Structure formats: structure tokens, C-alpha cells
Amino acid sequence: MKAGPQNAAAAHGVDQKTYIGGHPLSGRETAGPLGARADLFDGRPWVLTPTAETGRDTLNRALELISLCGAVPVVMDAADHDHAVALISHTPHVVSAIMAARLEHASEDAARIAGPGVRDVTRIAAGDPQLWQEILSANATAVADVLEEYAADLNAAVDALRGLTAQDADKQAAARETLVALLRRGNAGQSRIPGKHGSPRAVYATVPVVISDAPGELARLFAAVGAAGVNIEDVRIEHSPGQPVGLVTLQVAPESAEPLTARLTERGWTVQS
């Protein structure tokens, strides 16, 4: 992704003082001009991969461009960048696509009751296959390395799940231990993903509110939360299959959950316990 073009530029005699690699880590499932938005880069990381020969003026111009786009500059070595994006972007897309492929021939009943878990895991699988083939091809080795490690953990999970049905009690115990260890590693890794504005992850309380699927209802709910003086840290919306209602799960500061629940209930909202 960056090491390859950097080496190619040097091989073709490009003046290394005026060369710098860059990668804005922002995008949408929609490709091309129709996916453009004025705030697309706001607050998003934009990696720069200067070499030892990159001139100061070149670096400053790149930093100015990033600032004008509202992004946050991150300076990295080209090889480190390639491994990092394989880990946090490219491999997750492949994993998402492979999981989503399981749904291609799923029964109608299974698809109809799909909830937030499978939606979250498969959301990015909606990306353009041709575009992603090009992205993955450009960083194939790094992605394959991460997928190989992922496959080893996946095989360990399969063996552990099979072991849970073993007749031998010791094998069952070992399988449970392996599975719990893997899930705990997942907890540890997920906790390292930065929180809001790149700060350490915070623990929020959830306030689930039933909402009708009608124009203006979401805005009315947000207005009620604002009137209560509570800031919404995150939000998730689930639609009930075949019903004109949904569930909006608000994430707020722990100390705000109880008073917000009381305030919304007073205003006629149905808050699930």
C-alpha cells in the first residue's frame, strides 16, 4: 500500500525530497463521487509515510492539506503502515465478507430475525467487490499474514466448540478453558480501540427506548434527551421485524442513565428496564 509505491518511486528516479506517501483513513460503503461528503475527513486519521529523504517543505505541505481537510495527521513508517491497515481495515473487510457469505443461502426465517450483532459484523461487507479486490491486491502479503493468525484462532475455536460435546469431562473442561481464554483475548483487544475523539474508551450506561417508525420521532426523542441536559455518547437503532416500531439504545454517562430514564418516562416514552 505504501512500501510498494515508495520503492517504485525510488526505482523510477522520483526526487525523494518531493515524495511523501499519504493515506486518509476515512470512507464509506458507497464508492465514487456519490460517496463524497463535506465532512468525510473531519477528525479522521490521515497517515503520512515520509522517508529519510523527504524534504521539510514537502512534509509541511502535506500537513497543511490534512489540516485544511479537518483530519488528524499520523506519521508512520511505510511498512508499519501496511501492516497496520491490514490489521485494522483490510482483514476486517475480508472477515466481514466471509461472515456475510454465510447468509447468502440462509433461510428466510434466519434472515428475518437478523439483529444488531450480525448487522455490525457484516456492515462493511457491502463494499464494492472490484474496488476491494484492488485494495487487497495492493496489500496482499500483509493481509494474508493477519488472516493466517486469524485462521489459527478460528481453528482453535472450532476445536474447542467440538470439545464441548465430548464425553470425556477433562476434554470438556479443556475446551471451556480454551474458549474462555479466546473470548478474554477478544475483550482485551477490543478495549484497545480508542474511544470518542481518540481518548481512552469510557464505560457508558444504556437507556433502551421504544420508538415508533414514524417521521420526526427520532428527532423528538433526541430533543427530549437534550431538554434533560444529557449528552448522547452513542446510539444504536434496531427495527422490529414486521412491526412499525423499533428500539433506540442510547449510550450515556452512567450517572445520567437513571435521571434520563425518569425524565423520558414522565414524557410518555417507554423505556425498557
pLDDT of residue 30: 66
Which of 141, 98, 139, 144 minimizes the C-alpha distance to 121? 98
pLDDT of residue 244: 80
- Residue 184 corresponds to which cell in the numbers above? 478474554
Write down the architecture of domain 86-190 according to CATH: Orthogonal Bundle (1.10)
Between the alpha carbon of residue 44 and those of residues 1, 66, 71, 129, 196, the distances in Å are 19, 10, 5, 24, 12
- Fold annotation for 3-76: Rossmann fold (3.40.50)
pLDDT of residue 80: 94
> What residue spans define the domains of the chain?
3-76, 86-190, 205-271
Q: Taking each helix axis as running N to C, give the angle between helix 254-266 and helix 217-227, from 0 to 180 degrees, rounded to the nearest 10.
A: 120
pLDDT of residue 7: 86
pLDDT of residue 9: 87
pLDDT of residue 29: 60
Kindly provide the b/e burial profile for residues 49-81, where b requires at least 16 CB atoms within 10 angstroms of the residue's own CB.
Answer: bbeeebeeebeeebeeebeeeebbeeebebeeb
pLDDT of residue 245: 86
> Which residue matches cell numbers 475480508?
94
pLDDT of residue 26: 83
Query: Is there a common fold for 3-76 and 86-190?
Result: no
Q: Check: CATH 3.30.70.260 for 205-271?
A: yes
pTM equals 0.75
pLDDT of residue 203: 85
- Residue 51 corresponds to which cell in the numbers above? 522517508
Q: Which residues of the chain have pLDDT under 70?
A: 1, 28-31, 196-200, 242
